[in-house]
Amino acid sequence: MKLRYNFVFQPLHAVTLAITVGDDVDAFPGIIQLNETGAEIMQMFRQDQTVDTVVSRMMEQYEADEADIRQAVDDIVSMLREKDLLE
């Protein structure tokens, strides 16, 4: 799965804002507010990725239980699907 639109990610204090750019602004004019981990996960979906691949990459970066990481990835994927942001 992969993001349907092009986003830029702008850190702002304790959050990161995901904002569509270019022609995609008309298709999705919203802004998504994410924590640092959520932003990392969402950015991984700029290219076609499976959930398992993203979980594996996150496990390489963080010392956390696989179940916790998988839940974080699943939460972001669910949010992206609700907003119809995945191809």
Burial of 44 (0-12, 13-18, 19+ CB in 10 A): middle
Confidence of residue 17 (pLDDT cuts 50, 70, 90): very high
Structural domain boundaries of the chain? 7-82
- What pTM was computed for the model? 0.91
Confidence of residue 32 (pLDDT cuts 50, 70, 90): very high
Q: Say if residues 33 and 15 touch (Cβ distance below 8 Å).
A: yes
Average pLDDT over residues 2-15: 96
Q: Which residues contact 67 (CB under 8 A, 6 or more apart)?
A: none
Q: What is the largest CA-CA distance in the chain?
A: 39
Average pLDDT over residues 27-52: 96
